Structure 1
Amino acid sequence: MKTMKSFAVAVIALVSFTTFAQTTKKVNTTESKVEWVGKKVTGQHSGTISLAEGALVFKGKKLAGGTFTVDMTSINTTDLQGEMKGKLDGHLKSDDFFGVEKFPTANLVFKTLTNKGNDVYTVNADLTIKGKTNPISFDMKVNGSTATTKLMVDRAKYDIRYGSGSFFDNLGDKTIYDEFELDVTLNF
């Protein structure tokens, strides 16, 4: 009888450990995509940027964490071609915007997650761009081996001032809005 009780306790412990075990799933950076949209008074531009690395952490089947490194040198404008594309890509990589020579990566680290149900989580994270870290919140949907989110980033919080109405007066139609959108699809 004592052996049966010991066996039962061991099975329950194993099931509990397996059910709540933490697993880290590496993000496939070549199959994942990050698309950006930046808007100004007179229009907008869009493009892509690559992940250098990333991972999502799960407890059982529930999202529990994540860390990501973005390759800022990969900024790529997709709505322009030729000389105009080259100029905008170069300008975005310059110190006026992301200063990729000095800051070649940006980082996102999940801090807390709230399960909203239906595999949707509210993520509170720290985002570091140009050496400045600020909190950011967004919703993320997990579906099988894919996670998706859209988040808005306020560049003014990272001292990215070029064309910003938050820092300069009388810009008129030269104003570039502070918030830019990231549309993210992670495959893991």
Structure 2
Amino acid sequence: PAVDSGEKQRLQQVLETVCSADEALELAKKSNAVVFETKGCVFGKETWDAFYEKVSKGAPAIVLCANYYTLSREGISDELYEQQKDKYPQLVFNLLEYDGETFVLRWHESTVEYIGNRDTYKYLLHFTGDAPSEAARYTQYDNYVLVNDPTVTWDEIFLSICSSQFGDFIPHHVIYKNYLGWKD
């Protein structure tokens, strides 16, 4: 069995659409995409759960995710805010397809021409746990991460991101992120 070609074509068209971030956010929701904002998943959790259930059984599946980014004045200098404010909001689409063996990830920032960005991964791992410190703005995380090493841990991925050593980086992509117990 393969992914439904009509569904794949429909989601690919959404992925390649060039429009403002706000228009892309509306398009994502109309397309039943999984939408992420600052606090994590805000729309489409059922869509994600259905996708994950299929791939967990080794069945082909496809899902469209959308990351909507805004710029907050909190924690940055006025100078940096002024330099960056016109670049936001941003929306990045992630189209993830599983053929029963490999995950193919295509991504596109909504305001620029689609150029066919693509990566492949072997595994989709699910990590849950407590926030890394009391300073975190949430109490727990719920992440799904694309990797090529099924033995890697979330702590190893997190440390690889923070390391200044190029060779320490672990290839990965956080495709689904949700933060629980948000502290406003």
Using the size of structure 1 for normalisation, the TM-score is: 0.35
- Which of structures 1 and 2 has the larger relative contact order (alpha carbons within 8 angstroms, sep 6+)? 1
- The structure whose residues are more often helix, as a share, is 2
For the pair shown, which has the larger CA radius of gyration, 1 or 2?
A: 1
- The structure whose residues are more often strand, as a share, is 1
